[in-house]
Amino acid sequence: MSPRNLAESRAFAIGRAYFDAGFFWECHEVLEAVWLVTTPASPEREIVQALIQLANARLKLLMERPKAALRLCDIVEAHIAQLGGTNLIMGVEQGALLDELRQTRSAAKAEI
């Protein structure tokens, strides 16, 4: 599947909608199916993996496991670092993703 087709896929749209609605487990499950069809070592794979792990970090916050959330934030940051200077991948802006990461990390630190 091409990166454009993946970005426009129903599964990707639903996964992002689940994230935005706070359904982090569901987001993780749906986006994993998208991740499985991405090209290894591609920006698309990195961005989907970052979204999956960010959803997982948010879920850990809801479960009152801030240390696990922080560990996952580090993983998200590593995936974002692999993107280099590419700002927009599959409709996801790197800056917006970094903002979400900062908010999640801040919330986790506040709970420790």
Residue 27: is its pLDDT beyond 90? yes
pLDDT at 45: 97
pLDDT at 85: 82
Residue 111: is its pLDDT beyond 90? yes
Rounded Cα–Cα distance for residues 84 and 104 (Å): 22
- Domains of the chain, first to last: 3-111 (1.10.3450.10)
Mean pLDDT of 5-22: 97
Q: What is the per-residue pLDDT across 44-88, written as a single tens digit (0 to 9) for each? A: 999 999 999 999 999 999 999 999 999 999 999 999 999 988 889
pLDDT category of residue 101 using cuts at 50, 70 and 90: very high
* CA dihedral of 99, 15, 93, 101, whole degrees rounded to 10: 20
Name the burial class of residue 3, with classes exposed (0-12), middle (13-18) and buried (19+) by CB atoms within 10 angstroms of its CB. Answer: middle
Residue 94: is its pLDDT beyond 90? yes
